[in-house]
Amino acid sequence: MATPPSDPLAQPLTLPCGVVLRNRLGKAAMTEGLGDAALRATPEHARLYAAWGDGGVGLNITGNVMVDRHVIERPGNVAIDVRHPPCVDAPARDRLRAWAQAGTAGGAQLWMQLSHAGRQSPRYATRQPVGPSAVKLDLLGNYKTPRALGDAEIVDIVRRFGAAARIAQECGFTGVQVHAAHGYLISSFLSPLTNRRDDRWGGGIGNRARLLLDCVRSVRAQVGADFAVSVKLNSDDFRRGGFSHADCLQVVERLNDEGVDLLEISGGTYEQPRLLGVEGRSADAVAVRASTRVREAYFLAYAEAIRAVATMPLMVTGGFRSRAGMEAALASGALDVIGVARPLCTHPDCVRQLLERRIDRLPAYEQRLHLAAQGWRSPASPWLALKMVNVLGAQGWYYQQIERLARGRPAQPDRGVLRSFVRYWWDELTRAMRLRR
């Protein structure tokens, strides 16, 4: 079935660098957990991204590739750490090329998301997390107090973002995304809650945004003007005293001058993981706008304000499920690209089905991935343990669907959330024990 020529979802988009997205639907980054014990790409990456690339999206953004092999988001990450030859030698690059070739074969753009986990590297995956300041992530006892980075270390991290982007380009990826959202290192520099420095990297928003801007400049200097460079940025951390929406608007104004080709809008951190549909994990949580609650897309209301100051194209990720919601968002002018993630974990071709008008809604398994108990959603609920089973069980459920796709197996949507929770911890801890430090 052919896609109607007037379908707004099917319209191409030319980015400032000249790269053309074949349609307005992009797969947002999702951590894959498929790397080997040396943090290198595997054949499973190639198989997974071939499926997603053939599934109709115009843009595929990888899970977060780490620029520091010692401070990772989870076991199974891929790392491009230029300080460690096995991460960047010829065999490692051959694996990256296989991944890039598979992901672009179907005509989609394949962008590598570059990241540093910072203080959000769990204790089973790192000996010592780092951050702008020694502010611990207090969540299930799973995180150590980070060591505050020195000035020279921060400068070296900037260099590593650029070097990793150059390797991605040389290996066939068609763009990169700098991850500055969700509480990871760059995001933590943006927030005054986690950045308590009084040097050139802390204080006012101009200094707190310095790491992000320097990383973007480093990347652009390495890849040239005709290669796609994106940034993922929180619209708001949703924490009192943290990175606010007003801060976000100021950062966007600064990014306007940095040659960014696509700005992806998201929100939340581990303490306030709005993307998982959870609020109130911390005492300083800020309520999400009522207008955001009732909309299909979590961050569309914030994107409308960002659009007023942004000069680059915008992508909004989180919550889009219906064709009507997507078309309305595009028609509003608030965004240029619809970000989709979790539906692709079970139905890698659902975007193609949407474009061919065989379906009008994407799968939404998240609506049933929880163990029911009265009051479990309340921040003051006595069912906190159950709440965490639900959150991590649902997260594990999607991880396990990704793994099945990567191994060429069909999705298993009837898998229960409790089973997924147990398997999640088993996988994380056993993979951590196999890591080559």
Q: Distance of CA 191 to CAs 219, 324, 412, Å?
A: 22, 35, 39
Phi, psi of 230 (to 5 degrees): -120, 160
> 223 near 193, Cβ under 8 Å?
no
CA angle 53, 13, 29 (to 5 degrees): 40
Helices (H) then strands (E): counts for the chain: 15, 13
pTM: 0.93
Number of alpha carbons in the 13 Å side-chain half-sphere of residue 30: 29
* Strand pairing category for 314-317 and 337-340: parallel
- DSSP, collapsed to helix, strand or coil, labels residue 65 as strand
pLDDT for 383: 62
Burial 379-416 (b: 16+ CB within 10 A, else e): eeeebeebbebbbbbbbbbbbbbbbbbbeeeebeeebe
One pLDDT digit (tens) per residue for the chain, 437 residues: 555 668 999 999 999 999 999 999 999 999 999 999 999 999 999 999 999 999 999 999 999 999 999 999 999 999 999 999 999 999 999 999 999 999 999 999 999 999 999 999 999 999 999 999 999 998 878 899 999 999 999 999 999 999 999 999 999 999 999 999 999 999 999 999 999 999 999 999 999 999 999 999 999 999 999 999 999 999 987 888 899 999 999 999 999 999 999 999 988 777 765 444 444 444 555 555 444 444 577 788 899 999 999 999 999 998 899 999 999 999 999 999 999 999 999 999 999 999 999 999 999 998 888 776 545 454 444 566 777 788 889 999 999 999 999 999 999 999 999 999 999 999 999 999 988 76
pLDDT for 344: 97
pLDDT for 117: 98
